Amino acid sequence: MRLAIAGDLHGDWSSHDELLLDHLKPDAVLFVGDLSDGDLRLVKAITRLKLPSAVILGNHDRGRDRSGELLRQQLSMLGDLDCSWKMRQWSSPAVAIVGARPCSSGGGFHLSQAVQSVFGPVTEQESVARIVQAASAAPETWPLVLLAHSGPTGLGSDASSICGRDWKHPHIDWGDRDLAIAVETMRRRRAADLVVFGHMHHSLRGGKGERLTFLRDRYGTAYVNAACVPRFGTDDAGQTLIHFTWVEFEGRHLTLVSHRWFHPNGTLAYEQTLFRQPSESVSPC
């Protein structure tokens, strides 16, 4: 089972993406938020994809509208594609995608006025409970993937950490506390197989290098930051390159996580392998 994950788009989505996905034919496409600053045309383009898709909105998707009306319109357009505090409902592929808190800006726990207008005054404890409850409905034999905009706390406090604050001193852990508590709580029944998020861009502020984008904890849960910004570039010949984070499962076993840059015709130009477990070494369930 193959997942293509689109990092923070910030408006970078075009017919090249749709053409590329037609060539790659992943089993599903996941969007980690910050699609734009509320551009409904981009949301509409995502709803037209012919592949199974799941979306969590990010802090930029609220735009400058504090009333929540712009956010409400996007959620209405997305319909079942939206994963806010719920499991994405589909029959194929056999993977459970559970959304975390929508429109997170990291830094612990905070609900903007726009989010409160749409979802109500959700507390940190209520957010945890919603994530855990949604995950509890995942079939035992399916991979369980948490889809978030910001990753959880507890993964490092350096500027280059997977959720580290790199734009202000002191550099601290800028993950979501409710997501971290939910991940920990879920382990009592079943650990998440993968947590996918964005928000913290791969390139550090001030040209100070690249952040860590993958790790795996001692319980076997993998974490990947898909926020390669910008997603579009060019190769030495001036040809367009498009970034997707690529994940593969065999049954419930994670076998591959990588960052891939493709030409629009589907040719793989470059791959940064983050994790690989060859299928022949995977023990039967």
Q: Give per-residue pLDDT as tens, 219-229.
A: 999 999 999 99
Q: Give per-residue pLDDT as tens, 36-53.
A: 999 999 999 999 999 999
Query: Which ranges of 25-106 would DSSP assign to H, the alpha helix?
Result: 40-47, 69-78
- Residue 116 is encoded by which pair of tokens? 């409160």
Phi and psi dihedrals of 195, rounded to 5?
-120, 120
At a CB cut-off of 8 Å and minimum separation 6, what does 266 contact?
20, 23, 24
Q: Give per-residue pLDDT as tens, 232-249.
A: 999 999 999 999 999 999
Confidence of residue 278 (pLDDT cuts 50, 70, 90): confident
Q: Measured between alpha carbons, how far is residue 6 from residues 18, 35, 199, 277 in Å?
A: 12, 9, 12, 23
Whole-number Å distance between alpha carbons of 106 and 272 = 26
Per-residue pLDDT for 284 more than 80?
Answer: no
Q: Is the pTM of this model over 0.85?
A: yes
How much of the chain exceeds pLDDT 70, in percent?
98
Contact yes or no for 161/173 (Cβ under 8 A) = yes
Contact yes or no for 33/103 (Cβ under 8 A) = yes
Top-level class of domain 2-281: alpha beta
At a CB cut-off of 8 Å and minimum separation 6, what does 155 contact?
161, 162, 163, 173, 175, 215, 223
Confidence of residue 282 (pLDDT cuts 50, 70, 90): very low
Average pLDDT score over residue span 106-111 = 97
Per-residue pLDDT for 26 more than 70?
Answer: yes
Q: Give per-residue pLDDT as tens, 133-179.
A: 999 999 999 999 999 999 999 999 999 999 999 999 999 999 999 99
pLDDT in the model for residue 173: 98
